[in-house]
Amino acid sequence: MSARTVVSSLLAAITTIGLVLGLYLGVTAAVEVHADGEVMAVRTTATDVDDLLARLEVKLGVGDEVDPGVDTTVVDGLVVTVQRAVTAAVVVDDRAGVLGIDDAEFEVTAVLDTMRDVLVASPAGGAMETEARFEPALDAPVDDGAVLQVEIAVPVTVRVDGEELTLASFAPHVEGAVDEADVALAALDRVDPSPSTPLEDVDVITIARVELLEKVVDVVLEHDWVEEGTDELLQGERQVETEGRDGLRRDTYEVVVVDGAEESRERIVEEVVDEAVAEVVLVGTRQPPPPPPAPSPGQDGDRVVYLTYDDGPHPTYTPALLDLLATYDARATFFALGSEVERYPGVAARIVREGHAIGNHTWSHPSLTTVSGEVLDRQVLDTQSVIQRAAGVTPTCLRPPYGARNATVNARVAELGLRMSMWNVDPEDWRQPGAGAIVDRVLSGVRPGAVILLHDGGQGRGQTVAATERLLANLTEEGYQLRSLPGC
């Protein structure tokens, strides 16, 4: 073969190769495929990405992602990235209900870079918007089969000591939330709901401060009042045999105080410190003796009555009565109180100076049947002394206040050197029935020797003064003489 022939053959071969190469390059595309940690650079006649991956035997699993998508047309310079999906689990604690989900465990299969991606891809993604704790951390990388533990905090309000504390608690029960709120509990404090209540069932925890105190209360024991009959006293007479006295009981209570207010109390100790003493009153059962005989008329047989005045002397009424008695040349007997003689000694002196009798009516008008022997003595003897100093005479007669007397009083008065002086006509002028009524009552009961009870002491005795003026006129007209009581 000639050299020319060889050269021509070579040129023809080169031309053919060029034509074939041009044809090949014209119908293929240069692409890169990034998958499973490798980079595959190839020229391909694949029509789309799905065809390309099949020719390269890159198989896609569930959840794998291809960029660009498998329907993308293959062009020269195309770069395809295959991201493999992983399967990870999300496990929420027993407070999943706080997130509004029913299930607590989820499995996610997707292309996931971090645990945050796992959480967002799951139904528990709402945990990102609440107080929660995550294990592992959300920025941790994800491996296939990884598990993300989610712990949800419960928003709760703690009411204690007048304040409200709001917190998000991870504690499983109420007791733990109280600890997280840094509330110190005393032994008797009450927690509502109970400390063992699951926290997810609670919105508000109320703590009541409880104190157990002892309180002592003194209670007055009122004394009884007892009546006992005795024939040592006349009917209608009464005498205190035993002075009543209230007793004292000391009660100790256990008091439950809740938040400063008493809730309940229970008596735990009852101690009688002082026993009550019953008051015993003797009531007379003996029939009274007949009224004392009226004082005898004068020796000449004249009709005589005796005006007597109690409770004075009075600075106004007694002088007015003395003026009236002087007008009719009449005499009377004044039973004076020691306290009033001490106040108005000049009036007492005038009574005696003008020829009237003055008697003892005690110092301050007590019922002599109800006082002790010592008090009776002082009432009588102090009055004797003050009358002696004021009027220069010592009374020999005593009229007991209210007419109250008994055998004991009678005996003691006699021992003191006085005799009892009573009455038999009582118009009850002290009730102030009117001057006319006083006159009528006296005149209806008057008789020779009558002892008439009137009053010059006290308030409102103007009726007695007016009645005395009319009585003096009437009795004088009827022929009565008005004298002081004999022996007084």
More confident residue, 25 or 431: 431
Q: Is residue 401 part of a domain?
A: yes
Q: Is residue 291 part of a domain?
A: no
Domain boundary residue among 162, 191, 208? 208
Active site residue 310: yes
Number of domains in the chain: 5
- pLDDT category of residue 95 using cuts at 50, 70 and 90: confident
- pLDDT category of residue 299 using cuts at 50, 70 and 90: very low
Same domain, 148 and 94: yes
User: Distance between alpha carbon 283 and the CA centroid of its chain, in Å?
Assistant: 46
- List pLDDT tens digits, range 213-243: 999 999 988 888 787 888 776 555 667 788 8
**Confidence at residue 124, expressed as pLDDT on a 0 to 100 scale:** 86
Same domain, 140 and 246: no
d(CA 263, CA 122): 53
Same domain, 231 and 345: no
Same domain, 272 and 364: no
In this structure, are residues 277 and 250 in contact, taking their beta carbons and an 8 Å threshold?
A: no
Same domain, 316 and 264: no
Q: CB-based contacts of 245: which residues, under 8 Å, 6+ apart?
A: 223, 276, 277, 279
Active site residue 361: no
Beta strands in 259-344 (DSSP E): 261-274, 279-286, 304-312, 332-336
d(CA 117, CA 125): 9
Q: Residue 279 belongs to a domain with what CATH number?
A: 2.20.230.10
Q: Is residue 38 part of a domain?
A: yes
Same domain, 74 and 43: yes
pTM of the model: 0.43
DSSP state string for 351-370: HHHTT-EEEE--SS---TTS
- List pLDDT tens digits, range 108-163: 888 888 989 888 888 988 888 888 889 999 899 998 889 999 988 888 999 999 99
Among the listed residues 314, 356, 365, 455, the single catalytic one is 455
In this structure, are residues 163 and 174 in contact, taking their beta carbons and an 8 Å threshold?
A: no
Domain boundary residue among 256, 286, 316? 286
Same domain, 174 and 265: no
Amino acid present at 23: L
- Whose tokens are 């007597």? That residue is 308
- pLDDT category of residue 322 using cuts at 50, 70 and 90: very high
Same domain, 475 and 351: yes
Same domain, 387 and 467: yes
Same domain, 436 and 452: yes
Q: Is residue 203 part of a domain?
A: yes
In this structure, are residues 112 and 88 in contact, taking their beta carbons and an 8 Å threshold?
A: yes
Same domain, 347 and 477: yes
Q: Is residue 299 part of a domain?
A: no
Over residues 17-46, the mean pLDDT reads 76
Q: CB-based contacts of 92: which residues, under 8 Å, 6+ apart?
A: 99, 101, 104, 105, 124, 127, 150, 152
User: Distance between alpha carbon 395 and the CA centroid of its chain, in Å?
Assistant: 63
**Confidence at residue 293, expressed as pLDDT on a 0 to 100 scale:** 47
Same domain, 37 and 74: yes
Among the listed residues 117, 310, 429, 456, the single catalytic one is 310
Domain assignment of residue 467, given as a range: 304-482
Give the C-alpha distances (Å, rounded to integers) separating 314 from 318, 343, 462.
5, 9, 12
HEC-encoded secondary structure of 179-233: HHCCCCCCCCCEEECCCCCEHHHCCEEEEECEEEEEEEEEEEECCCEEEEEEEEE
Q: Is residue 224 part of a domain?
A: yes
